[in-house]
Amino acid sequence: MATKRMTGNDYKKELKELNKSIESIVAHVESRLLELIRLFPDAVVVDKVLGKYLCKNITKTWFQNLSLETKIAYIINIEKWNTAQQKVEQLTIDKIYKELPSEIKKTLDKLND
């Protein structure tokens, strides 16, 4: 059974689709970062070159000159900062289960069988 080789037009079409995907991810990343900057102006962002600074110090010109990878890194930094500010611990079933009375644990174990 022979496999079909891609033609120049196939590559052109595939490249066009990839470029559309890249444009889409860039738009989503920039939108999310701008939203986080607006919501958390006091969030600390860490830059390898510039060190630590606040989101409210990010200017439009500076924002436009950032690489996509840097923008994603900033999103991660802001989300981590926000999580640390909330000091909320995510509960898991294991944590809840350990705190249950033994009678309830027995009942749950029977239900799982």
The DSSP symbol for 55 reads: G
pTM above 0.85, yes or no: no
For the chain, the domains span 8-87
Element (H, E) at 31: helix 8-39
Q: Over the chain (113 residues), what is each successive 10-residue block's mean pLDDT? A: 83 94 93 91 77 77 85 89 76 68 77 68
In Å, how far are 18, 22, 32, 34, 66 from 38, measured between CA atoms?
30, 24, 10, 6, 17
Confidence (pLDDT) at 106: 78
Confidence (pLDDT) at 95: 65
**15 within 8 A of 57, measured Cβ to Cβ:** no
